[in-house]
Amino acid sequence: MDFRIDAATEQRLAGIRALGRAEIRPLGLEADRLGRPVPPDHPFFRKLVSLGLGRTRWSGDGDARASRGAAAREGSARAALCLAEELAYWDRGVAVSFPGPGLGEPPVLSMGTPEQKERFLGPFREPDRPRWGSFAMTEPGAGSDVAAIRTSARREGGAFVLDGEKSFAANASRADWIVVWATVDPSLGRGGHRAFVVERGTPGLGDFKIERKMGLKAYESTSFTLRACRVPAANLLGGEEHYARRAGFKGALQSFNATRPAIAAMAVGIGRAALDEALRVAREDGRLGDSRVRDRLERGRRRLRVARLLCWRAAWLADHQQPNMVEASLCKAVAPAVALEIASAGMEIAGEAAGRGDALAEKLFRDVKAMDIVEGTGQIQRIVMARHLVGLPRDPGAA
Ligand X SMILES: Cc1cc2nc3c(=O)[nH]c(=O)nc-3n(C[C@H](O)[C@H](O)[C@H](O)COP(=O)(O)OP(=O)(O)OC[C@H]3O[C@@H](n4cnc5c(N)ncnc54)[C@H](O)[C@@H]3O)c2cc1C
Least separation in angstroms between residue 383's CB and ligand X is 6
For residue 210, the SS3 value is strand
Least separation in angstroms between residue 84's CB and ligand X is 15
Least separation in angstroms between residue 373's CB and ligand X is 4
Task: Closer to ligand X by CB, 331 or 370: give it.
Answer: 370
CA-nearest of 185, 181, 180 to 155 is 185
Task: Closer to ligand X by CB, 338 or 380: give it.
Answer: 380
Task: Closer to ligand X by CB, 90 or 312: give it.
Answer: 90
The DSSP output letter for 4 is P
Helix spans in the chain (H): 7-19, 25-34, 43-50, 64-75, 77-97, 105-111, 114-121, 239-242, 248-284, 291-319, 325-350, 352-355, 360-373, 378-389
Task: Closer to ligand X by CB, 78 or 260: give it.
Answer: 260
Task: Closer to ligand X by CB, 146 or 349: give it.
Answer: 146
- Measured distance CA(295)–CA(272) in Å, rounded: 16
Mention every residue, 6+ apart, whose C-beta is less than 8 A from residue 79: 5, 6, 8, 9, 12
Q: Report DSSP letters for 152-203, one per residue.
A: EEEEETTEEEEEEEEEEEETGGG-SEEEEEEES-GGGGGGGEEEEEEETT-T
Least separation in angstroms between residue 169's CB and ligand X is 4
- Measured distance CA(133)–CA(137) in Å, rounded: 14
Least separation in angstroms between residue 146's CB and ligand X is 8
Catalytic residue among 165, 327, 362, 375: 375
- Measured distance CA(330)–CA(387) in Å, rounded: 13
Task: Report in angstroms the alpha-carbon separations of 232 from 2, 59, 112, 193.
Answer: 46, 25, 15, 17
For residue 132, the SS3 value is strand
Residue with the CB atom nearest ligand X in the bound state: 143
Task: Closer to ligand X by CB, 137 or 314: give it.
Answer: 137
Active site residue 348: no
Least separation in angstroms between residue 305's CB and ligand X is 26
Task: Closer to ligand X by CB, 138 or 202: give it.
Answer: 138
Least separation in angstroms between residue 172's CB and ligand X is 8
Q: Which residues pair with 230 in a beta bridge?
A: 161
Exposure string over 91-114, b if 16+ CB within 10 A, otherwise e: bbbbbbbbbbbbbbbbbbbbbbbe
Binding-site ranges for ligand X (CB under 6 A): 103, 135-138, 143-144, 168-170, 213, 216, 221, 370, 373-374, 377, 379-380, 383
CA-nearest of 321, 192, 303, 322 to 244 is 192
60 touches 125 (CB < 8 A): yes
Active site residues: 375
